[in-house]
Structure 1
Amino acid sequence: MYCLHSRLVSKPIQYFLMTSDWKRDVTGLLATAEHPLIVVLGPTASGKTAFSIALAKSIVSTGREAEIINADSRQLYCYLNIGTAKVTPKEMQGIPHHLIDVLDPKEEAAAGWYQGEARRVIQNMQKRGAVPVLVGGSMLYVSSVIDALTLAPVPDPVLRARLIEEYDQDGGAALFARLQEIDPETADSIHRNNKPHLVRAVEIYELLKAPKSEAVPQRELRSDENVSEYDLLIFGMQWDREELCVRIDERTKKMFEEGWLEEVEDLLKKGYSADNPGMKSHGYREIMTYMEGSCDDLKALRELIAAKTRQYAKRQMSWWRGDSRIRWICPALQTIRS
């Protein structure tokens, strides 16, 4: 486990570049790998962006191209910038980035769709001799690329609308009875009142002509065999739990200071609503509720969003815990001696 000592906020890139361990690993990978893929993952607010750009610039300095592929499901959306901590053109420092601002907030982001797009981008980069760096904290999206997962098909808006209408006619009774007939195993794991899961299970059957329990095995949601079509080098950003919570709280506060409320207000003016898929991003629906007058305590709103983000960070680390492929990097809250 590598420990890169840095201050909480000040110039993390310089401190990352002081360490030779990860650079040696990158050099070793690129010297032998036929299909290299470098991955930078970790919980929200852990410093993935800064480290990934430092890493890419280090590769570029050796004469090879390096480009970053976004693996954060929320940064796929246009207009959601502040609340998703989307990397800015200035922060990119000339490193090309892919799969950012590619979806409208009214479009559904699906891991199956993302898997295909990411593989296409990686293939294109490798044909050009560029080194792909996959960066993000969306667990299933990262795994969809590196673990050769079998994923559910991309949702069909027309089919889904029909199934939702069917569910609403009788509270899901007929739809659930149908699921029990076509896929009893999945039906046993879903309550009839769980509208999104019930609709999705029937939708998968309609699209694949096979039950979800057979077409999308649960075991493949986390690959036990670590099968990958790429030569992987995976770096993970890890903080002490209390230190990470401090970073999340400080970043949430900074987002409000940078105009998050105004960003959401602009989204409402553009015609978007809390029901749009893009608004599943942490904080956006909460802010829209706040603007509707359901809450008038801005401090309480900020703490609610920070608390939900802390819970998400915990789930992220639980997902990756035990993956022996990950080389963990710990940006400790310590001052570097000159």
Structure 2
Amino acid sequence: MDDRSSDPAAVDLIAVVGATGTGKSEFALAIAEQLARSGRAAEIVNADAMQLYRGMDIGTAKLSVAERRGVPHHQLDVLDVTDEASVATYQGDARVDVERITGSGAVALLVGGSGLYVSSVLFDLAFPGTDPELRARLEREHAELGPGVLVERLRALDPAAAAGVDQRNPRRLIRALEIASRSEVVTPSLPSAPRAWRPARILHLHRERTGLVASLHERAARMFDRGLVDEVAALRDHGLEQGKTARAAIGYAQALDVLHGRATRDDAVEATAVATRKYARRQVSWFKRYADAEVLDVTGTDLAGLREAARRIVP
């Protein structure tokens, strides 16, 4: 990776990354406010794939307009739940936001835990387009023949992709095979030494696993207490179950099980907590590969502590 300066005045792109439940949103707001005190404006560019969706608020912990405290946010509420999220599209749109923000003299804060989405902005990664006909054929084969046949075909075409793909996730398996089946093969993963798109400072928030696991279960219960099932019921009227990406989001899939009578509320909370813990492990593994990131241990840190940490980052 390219060298990045530790002087906040030397860069106009700062990434705040980390696993779910580490306090990225609050920390980014604190940095924006601290920058404002030093005379620099800042705007936030979302890098959480599920926060791209309109109406998916409770289950994604999306900040309300009031909670954004006057700091402009971008790449929120840009997709309908029937749309399929595309990292290639996001890369282009988010970079346009970054260039507009920095071109105005402000600092762009890239904030989120979706590793590939964050990386698509920070690094020179290329993503192949989609082939609707091939995708439809692979979906039919998956439905008729099961995942095993597709996994074996992927293994023959791209062993590395086959080893890394979640075979239980039809969308990811089909996408991996779609990519491998085309001549311009580009594997959507992070190279061992990615080249930076432009100078950036990366702040990686880390919480000790024991405390993080407990907080993630509390987070899952809180989402259901705040009305996640009702939110999902409303989104069904807007086609949630016809969408390929949104309906599989953690919390939303489990809430759909409640609405269909396949699970109780307590079952759904536990299933959401388990899925979130697994996702957090993948996030930790992904961001560990950011060799030049500054790792900030926020274990046991409350909101006041996050604000104090921001003051140390931006004196």
Q: Same fold (TM over 0.5)?
A: yes
* Equivalent runs, 1:184-195 vs 2, <5 Å: 184-186=156-158, 190=162
Specify the code of the residue in structure 1 equivalent to 2:112: G
TM-score normalized with structure 2 length: 0.82
The correspondence for 1:284, drawn from 225, 243, 252, is 252
Specify the code of the residue in structure 2 equivalent to 1:82: I
User: Partner of 1:12 in structure 2?
Assistant: none
* Equivalent runs, 1:18-33 vs 2, <5 Å: 25=6, 28-30=7-9, 32-33=10-11
The correspondence for 1:124, drawn from 66, 88, 100, is 100
The correspondence for 2:219, drawn from 251, 264, 267, is 251
Contact 1:274 1:288 (8 Å CA) reproduced: no
User: Partner of 2:309 in structure 1?
Assistant: none
Change (3 A) 1:186 1:61: same
The correspondence for 1:233, drawn from 190, 196, 201, is 201
Q: Deviations over 1:136-184 (max 9, x none)?
A: 000111111112112232x34455335534766777999999x79xx95
Question: Partners in 2 of 1:188 and 1:133 — Cα distance?
Answer: 33
Task: Give the number of aligned pairs.
Answer: 296
TM-score normalized with structure 1 length: 0.77
Specify the code of the residue in structure 2 equivalent to 1:216: V
The correspondence for 2:237, drawn from 269, 287, 298, is 269
Question: Partners in 1 of 2:171 and 2:244 — Cα distance?
Answer: 14
User: Partner of 1:73 in structure 2?
Assistant: 49
* Higher deviation after alignment, 255-264 or 130-139: 255-264
The correspondence for 1:161, drawn from 133, 136, 152, is 136
Contact 1:65 1:130 (8 Å CA) reproduced: yes
SS in 2 for 1:231: coil
- Pairwise CA distance, 1:225: 2.3
User: Partner of 1:210 in structure 2?
Assistant: 183
Change (3 A) 1:170 1:113: same
Specify the code of the residue in structure 2 equivalent to 1:164: E
The correspondence for 2:28, drawn from 43, 52, 62, is 52
1:312 counterpart = 2:279: yes
- Pairwise CA distance, 1:312: 0.9
Question: Partners in 1 of 2:61 and 2:267 — Cα distance?
Answer: 21
Change (3 A) 1:266 1:238: same
RMSD: 3.2
Question: Partners in 1 of 2:300 and 2:281 — Cα distance?
Answer: 19
SS in 1 for 2:275: helix
- Pairwise CA distance, 1:328: 1.6
Structure 2 unaligned spans of 5+ = 306-315
SS in 1 for 2:203: strand
- Pairwise CA distance, 1:124: 1.4
Contact 1:69 1:132 (8 Å CA) reproduced: yes
Q: Deviations over 1:47-87 (max 9, x none)?
A: 00100001011112222221000000000001100000011
Change (3 A) 1:162 1:243: same
Change (3 A) 1:299 1:128: same
Specify the code of the residue in structure 2 equivalent to 1:271: G
* Higher deviation after alignment, 111-120 or 314-323: 314-323
User: Partner of 2:310 in structure 1?
Assistant: none
Change (3 A) 1:165 1:294: closer
Change (3 A) 1:274 1:301: farther
Q: Deviations over 1:178-233 (max 9, x none)?
A: x79xx953279659x98656643564478xx615xxx3157xx2232241122111
Q: Deviations over 1:14-72 (max 9, x none)?
A: xxxxxxxxxx95xx232x34xx3100001101100100001011112222221000000
Question: Partners in 2 of 1:313 and 1:175 — Cα distance?
Answer: 27
Question: Partners in 1 of 2:123 and 2:161 — Cα distance?
Answer: 25
Q: Deviations over 1:261-296 (max 9, x none)?
A: 110111123332175321221011111112111123
1:324 counterpart = 2:291: yes
User: Partner of 1:103 in structure 2?
Assistant: 79
Question: Partners in 2 of 1:133 and 1:334 — Cα distance?
Answer: 21
SS in 1 for 2:200: strand
Question: Partners in 2 of 1:92 and 1:308 — Cα distance?
Answer: 27
Over the matched positions of the two proteins, sequence identity in percent amounts to 33
User: Partner of 1:294 in structure 2?
Assistant: 262
User: Partner of 1:3 in structure 2?
Assistant: none
SS in 2 for 1:279: helix
Structure 1 unaligned spans of 5+ = 1-23
Question: Greater CA radius of gyration, 1 or 2?
Answer: 1
* Equivalent runs, 1:32-51 vs 2, <5 Å: 32-33=10-11, 36-51=12-27
The correspondence for 2:65, drawn from 89, 93, 96, is 89
